A and B are shown apart, each in its own frame.
Chain A
Amino acid sequence: MADDDVPSDSSLLVVIVDTNPNQRYIIEDPKMLTNVLDAVVAFSNSHLMQKASNELAVIGCHFHKSEYLYPSPGKPLDVRQIDGQYELFTLVEKTIKMRLVNLIKSQPQEEKPGESLLAGALALGLCFIARSRRSAIPGLRTSSRILVVTGSADTAAQYINYMNVFFTAQKEQVLIDVCSVDKHLSLLQQGCDITGGLYLKIPSLEGLLQYLLWVFLPEANERSKLVLPGRGRVDYRAACFCHRELLTIGYVCSVCLSVFCKFSPICTTCHTVFKIGGPPIKPKKKKMKV
């Protein structure tokens, strides 16, 4: 957003992976989650490869909680060089694998899985960014962004949490990118629009890594120089308070600002009585006789 032209010295990427078993592609084939995670690991390593000072965080988002998959909260694993792979990459991969298993094993078996706690995971990512900014070397320009990889559908219950997160991210100049694997997410698309990130809904899971590398790897100030998918039409319509349907034209109470789809003389939220009688009647136009 601001300082787009100034190249940053280091870039912090937070990847939020939705591991909720409720997602359609997981229900159809549970192995696809590991494929998705393979792609995410490769993508994260590519990000670390861009600059030596780049930083990474991966958060796994489940239906009961969200957890850091990388970096591990405790002591980092002791890795040795395997196969000529850069130790950091090995560390990333191993940590993510280990922590994912922990996360999945910790899911409560008795409950029916609910929605993914994506808003909470976004907040967690923002906290990580804020903390790393505070402990950064002064004078080091860091650009931060969050990438959300999810196959869930839009949720109505986390609406206000999403909005809080989006506006905080906008204030903190953090981009939120969204890669939707399955469905069109209008709420997250709004978040991308607000913060200046990119929203992409990919048609198939096979080329996920290619999509990630092509669209989401460049930093914010590089994106303006590349040919990337555009913003598209963002659906900012409000939802009426009675049916929660999206409206283009509605009635707004002037006292409590609640939105309704039909006119009613008493607002059901604040119980204000409106003296104006009914919607305005259009005056009938007299036809000109030629």
Chain B
Amino acid sequence: MTTSSEDVLLSVNCVRYKKGDGTLYVMNQRLAWMLEHRDTVAVSHKYADIKTQKISPAGKAKIQLQVVLHDGTCSTFHFVNPGGPEAQAKDRDQVMVLLQNLLPKFKRQIDGELEMKSKLLSLHPTLKHLYEDLVISKVINSEEYWNTPTLKQYTESSNIKQEAGVSGAFLADIQPQTDGCNGLKYNLTQDIIDAIFKTYPAVRKKHIDYVPNKMTEAEFWTKFFQSHYFHRDRIASSSSKDLFGECAKLDDHAIASAMRHTTLDLTVDLNKFIEHVPLLPTEEEASNEKDRSDNNSIHRNMIKRFNQHSIMVLKASQKSNSSNNSNSSSSKTSNNNNKVIENGVKDTNGVSKRPAEHSTEPIEKKKRILEQIHYEDLVADQGNDDVQELKLSKVERYLLGPSYQISQTSVQTSHPPPLSALASVCQAWSSGQQCQRPARVSAGAAVGALGELSPGGALMRHHHAASMN
């Protein structure tokens, strides 16, 4: 039976299962228990089916090992070694250790798949319904279901991993600690340093230049935090000896180069984005003075920085994931401190790439313009030559209504329609009785009709109270 094909790793005598003593066998792929003096296995659990094992707590008199299966059933084995509780505990611990080693191996093979499948089904209720409708009612096999190509898109979507970017507010998180007397202490870990390099490639370049030749790390970072570059108001003053002053100039270079190289998207109408400020009589002149006041140069600088940041973000998202450290973070930021600058080196890289892209640009442009002016619906019919004409016989079937059981015709055919009588009656009616006004309806008939039409009457059966508003 089963014992012939597998190796027995451990066999423990004197194990009680459901009031019977026997031997517990721990084998290669399963756990089996045989009743004493029998040669057929009464209980057998594959490790693949076993979810967990449990042992009774240390202080208890009964030394037990419980095995919980995936479908919820459990089997409890009670160790009753006549040698006493220590021997029982030893037996059980042996089994437990072996199981601990064996179970994980079998778990992952099948469990993972099933888990993934069940997770998929629970995440996408449409898939679950499809599965229930198709597989449970046996329209297609479960294998066919899982192998359909559309399903692959669900299962493989999790494979694409995105590189985590730098948080937008990380610099604000480096909170300085007051040093006691008018000084600030910054704690810089390697992570933070890496993040700074990633966000400001210019700083990295400077770091390579200056450290460790010209100044130590500590001095470098001190200068960094002191520099105007770091602080909010980045007014580029060339007179400052700040070694980071040049970085601001690099920014301007970057913006200028970006402006030169941006291809205009002709389909975007920029005028639509301008908001019409309501014209108030007192504020008309204000718009003219905007360019002059100093205050607004700061605004312009800020706007410039935001624009640069957006350009960098877009560039980063267009590159593939394989390019590394110089990628800017993809998160948008409102924090003024975090502005992404393109490294000088980076800039040249970008520029050199452009000529290669130039040739593709006109083609893309044309495609986009064509997209905008073509409507699929309005394109004239290409002439469906493969449409067959519908040939119908007995077309009158569509035109006739249902035939009603006219059993009353039998009554009518016995009496021919009174054509002549009708004619004479009508003649008499039209010519006579112009002065007399016969009663059109008798009082009794009228009251009867009213009774039938009142709520609850014979004709009002279909009238529902709900229809009365």
Q: Is the CB of A204 within 8 A of B397?
A: no
Q: Is the CB of B446 within 8 A of A207?
A: yes
Q: Is the CB of A101 within 8 A of B397?
A: no
* A10 CB–B CB distance under 8 Å: no
**In the assembled complex, how far is the CB of residue A201 from the closest CB belonging to chain B, in whole angstroms?**
8
Categorize the interface residue count of chain B: 35 or more
- Which of B38-46, B50-58, B223-231, B399-407 touches A? B399-407
* A174 CB–B CB distance under 8 Å: no
Q: Is the CB of B448 within 8 A of A270?
A: no
Q: Is the CB of A31 within 8 A of B425?
A: yes
Using Cβ atoms and an 8 Å threshold, which residues of chain B touch A258? 397-398
* A232 CB–B CB distance under 8 Å: yes
State which of A30, A207, A232 has its C-beta within 8 Å of the C-beta of B422: A30
Q: A207 and B445 in contact (CB under 8 A), knowing A104-B426, A156-B402, A227-B455? A: yes
State which of B404, B422, B434 has its C-beta within 8 Å of the C-beta of A104: B422
Q: Is the CB of B392 within 8 A of A270?
A: yes
Q: Is the CB of A244 within 8 A of B445?
A: no
* A183 CB–B CB distance under 8 Å: yes
Q: A229 and B463 in contact (CB under 8 A), knowing A26-B417, A104-B423? A: yes
Q: Is the CB of B435 within 8 A of A154?
A: no
Q: Is the CB of A269 within 8 A of B392?
A: yes
Cα distance, A234 to B390, chains bound together (Å): 33
Q: Is the CB of A159 within 8 A of B401?
A: yes
Q: Is the CB of A183 within 8 A of B408?
A: yes
Cα distance, A224 to B467, chains bound together (Å): 9
Chain A residue with minimal CB distance to B448? A207
Using Cβ atoms and an 8 Å threshold, which residues of chain A touch B449? 202, 207, 210-211, 214
Using Cβ atoms and an 8 Å threshold, which residues of chain B touch A153? 404, 406, 408
Chain B residue with minimal CB distance to A206? B445
Using Cβ atoms and an 8 Å threshold, which residues of chain A touch B367? none
* B468 CB–A CB distance under 8 Å: yes
Q: Give residues of chain A (175-230) contacting chain B, Cβ–Cβ below 8 Å.
A: 183, 186-187, 200, 202-204, 206-211, 214-215, 224, 227-230
Q: A156 and B462 in contact (CB under 8 A), knowing A227-B455, A258-B397? A: no
Chain A residue with minimal CB distance to B399? A160
Q: Is the CB of B412 within 8 A of A22?
A: yes
Using Cβ atoms and an 8 Å threshold, which residues of chain B touch A231? 462
* B394 CB–A CB distance under 8 Å: yes
Cα distance, A15 to B227, chains bound together (Å): 95
**In the assembled complex, how far is the CB of residue B386 from the closest CB belonging to chain A, in whole angstroms?**
15
Give the total of A residues in contact with B, Cβ under 8 Å: 70
Q: Is the CB of A21 within 8 A of B415?
A: no
State which of A31, A244, A271 has its C-beta within 8 Å of the C-beta of B402: A244
* A72 CB–B CB distance under 8 Å: no
Chain B residue with minimal CB distance to A257? B398
Chain B residue with minimal CB distance to A96? B430
Using Cβ atoms and an 8 Å threshold, which residues of chain B touch A27? 412, 415, 417-418
Cα distance, A159 to B411, chains bound together (Å): 24
Chain B residue with minimal CB distance to A63? B417
Using Cβ atoms and an 8 Å threshold, which residues of chain B touch A229? 453, 459-460, 462-463
* A109 CB–B CB distance under 8 Å: yes
- Which of A33-41, A139-147, A165-173 touches B? A33-41
Q: Is the CB of B419 within 8 A of A113?
A: yes
Using Cβ atoms and an 8 Å threshold, which residues of chain A touch B280? none
* B440 CB–A CB distance under 8 Å: yes
Q: Is the CB of B435 within 8 A of A21?
A: no
Using Cβ atoms and an 8 Å threshold, which residues of chain B touch A132? none
State which of B399, B406, B420, B446 has its C-beta within 8 Å of the C-beta of A210: B446
Cα distance, A46 to B463, chains bound together (Å): 26
Chain B residue with minimal CB distance to A83? B435
Using Cβ atoms and an 8 Å threshold, which residues of chain B touch A215? 453
* A87 CB–B CB distance under 8 Å: no
Cα distance, A237 to B452, chains bound together (Å): 29
* B278 CB–A CB distance under 8 Å: no
Q: A210 and B462 in contact (CB under 8 A), knowing A153-B406, A239-B402? A: no
Using Cβ atoms and an 8 Å threshold, which residues of chain B touch A159? 399-402
17 sampled A-B residue pairs with Cβ under 8 A: A27-B415, A31-B425, A39-B441, A42-B440, A83-B435, A109-B419, A154-B404, A156-B401, A159-B401, A183-B408, A207-B441, A210-B446, A229-B453, A230-B467, A232-B462, A244-B402, A244-B403
What 10 A-B pairs come out closest when comparing CB atoms? A159-B401, A239-B402, A207-B449, A97-B430, A206-B445, A230-B462, A232-B462, A207-B445, A210-B449, A21-B417
